Amino acid sequence: MKKLLVLASLFVSLTTLAAEPDSVKVAKKNELTLEQQAKKVQQQKKASEVQKRFNKFSKDRFAVDFIFSNWIYNKNDARFVGGDLKPKWYSRGVNIYFSWDFRIKNSRFSFAPGIGYSCSNIYSRHEMVEDSVGIHFTALSNPDDYKVNKITLQYLDIPVEFRIKTNPDKLDNCWKFAIGFKAGVRLDAHTKTKTKIDNVTKVNVERRFPDFNQFRFGPMIRIGYSSFNLTAYYGVLNVFKKDRGPKANEFAVGISFNGL
């Protein structure tokens, strides 16, 4: 009987010793799993913080562009009477846009549709004349009498951009690049002249130009760092309706202040 008890005790001891390494392995395995889980939680927390920063800095963003605008046209067009139109280098305008940024799966890429207002002014030494055959331009006979001579075009625009940020963790301080297009509908087209003859100043504004194209469309690009960017746009559609004015395409370059 005593021998049986001794054998039983020895068997239990050996079984316990044999099982101990497996217990240690299980414990170690469970410990590694906890570390992995903690790392995963930390990564998820970091991604959540980045997303919050993205929401803060990249949504509900306004962009204000100060641009130099001009036209690309044929200098020898018969509708330019008295020589080349020669728009002034200081022809300028402004864009004010609001956009909503949709991030693509927590990446550095996003898609941003928007809406906005655009105004461009073309200064020249030609008078714009509209008659039964459309619009043509005639060189001013006394250009020195004109203090202001410009064409103003205003649009309601729908811009759409595909955006890239170099560092999603620093959305407000990183390099940003955007390429897209915008389509617009014309709200207004008018001319404004300001003359001073014999110390008498006259201002004349005319709004009767249906021969301007009602729509515009073209690619746009934006690149820069933080809130300061360079921007450019080219109008694919002619500024004027077909056969109602010279063939001219709008282009603009400028500085953009925005949050992208």
From 137, 155, 134, 126, select the one nearest 235 (Cα to Cα). 155
Residues 184 and 96 in one domain: yes
- Residue 9 lies inside a defined structural domain of this protein: no
Residues 200 and 213 in one domain: yes
Roughly how many angstroms between the first and final C-alpha of the chain, as a whole number?
88
How many folded domains does the chain comprise?
Answer: 2
Domain containing 40 equals 20-58
User: Which residues in 100-174 belong to E strands, given as ranges?
Assistant: 102-103, 109-123, 126-131, 134-139, 146-165
Residues 113 and 29 in one domain: no
- pLDDT score of 108: 86
Spatial contact of 74 and 246, defined as CB atoms under 8 Å apart:
yes
Take residue 200 and report the two structure tokens written for it.
């008498």
State pTM to two decimals. 0.77
What is the rounded average pLDDT of the residues 153-165? 95
Q: Where is the domain boundary, 40, 58, 76?
A: 58
* Residues pairing with 95 in the sheet: 65, 118
- Residue 10 lies inside a defined structural domain of this protein: no
SS3 17: helix
Separation in Å, CA 164 to CA 48, 175, 178, 204, 211: 19, 8, 6, 46, 39
% of the chain at pLDDT higher than 70: 79
Residues 49 and 69 in one domain: no
- Residue 145 lies inside a defined structural domain of this protein: yes
From 248, 247, 237, 211, select the one nearest 135 (Cα to Cα). 211
Q: pLDDT tens digits, residue range 74-97?
A: 988 999 998 889 899 999 999 999
